[in-house]
Amino acid sequence: MFTDRPPTRLIVALLLNLLPILASAATWQHEYGHITLEQAPKRVVALNWAATEALLLLGVTPVGVADRDGYSVWVTQPALPEGVHNVGTRVAPSLEAIAELKPDLIVTSSEMAPAADLLERIAPTYVISVYREGSKPLEKSTEMLMTLGEMLEREEQAQAVIADIKQTLDTQRQRLEAAGLTDRPVALVNFLDDRHVRIYAPNGLYQTVLDGLGLDNAWPRAGNFWGFSVVGLEAIAPYEDSRVVVISPLLPGLADNLANSPFWTYLPPVQKERIYRVDTTWPFGGLFQIKRLAMQLTDSLLAGGSDNVR
């Protein structure tokens, strides 16, 4: 008797062949669906700098990065090794350049949502946004690091990174407390020109640094979902008891312009010589920027303030 159903022995054999694959595959949810991987990826492309940072913290060098050269200017640490390919800009990466690298994982954020289907045709794509309306940067950057740790079979490295950052905050807070430097609020700013600054708000990643160091944020208002507001220098004037911490980089000639600016020279923190400076940190990055800013901010406060940006 003939039948069009496959023999039971054939079905069993097929299932047995599939068992190793099914057993090794793992699935994770993300902002636009889910991603299933049968093994730890070896070739990863990162389409934003927060993802690039997370991979480097896990000891994984991406094969391709968006805005590669800009990373070394604005983020700087953790350092990007030589040999990483540039795949275009963060807002418009090159699909051709990504495909040529033959990745087995792409990490991106919701800004690239219109291209999600195209990216998926190249390689499994993990979508997570550290900075997005309603997101909490600390929680999302921690989630990204831990999830990538699972995908890449580097969970221990992810946990070690988180423990190290917590220890750094504790150590730096103790240094400030011992010196009696936690009593005045801090305003964290980047200069946009000689009259306007980007001031970091309580809903941003940098608030985690201030909280961890036992410092109050001089700026009380929530900013945009990136965690900052753009204000004129006069907006800082009412916070007379604050210390102003200027985050590099500075525009060429800015220090000279400020020295002759009534908007700057009459600010109470300037007159009281409570101006501090720290090196470049990336305010829209991930967990490592917490550690980097905490150490630099503590060192700067301990070194003492001045009446100008130098």
The CATH number of 165-303 is 3.40.50.1980
Amino acid 299: pLDDT? 97
- Residue 208 vs residues 33, 293, 298: alpha-carbon distances, Å: 29, 10, 14
pTM for this model (two decimals)? 0.85
- At 73 the pLDDT is 87
Cβ-based neighbour number of residue 216 at 10 Å = 16
User: How many Cβ atoms are within 10 Å of 4's Cβ, its own excluded?
Assistant: 4
- The pLDDT assigned to 8 comes to 58
Q: Which two tokens stand for residue 52?
A: 């690039």
Mean pLDDT of successive 10-residue segments in the chain (310 residues)? 51 51 72 89 95 96 95 91 93 93 94 81 93 89 96 96 97 97 96 94 95 97 94 93 92 88 91 93 92 96 85
Domain ranges of the chain: 24-153, 165-303
Q: Which CATH class is domain 24-153?
A: alpha beta
In this prediction, residue 10 carries a pLDDT of 54
Q: Hey, do 24-153 and 165-303 end up sharing a CATH topology, with the first three levels equal?
A: yes
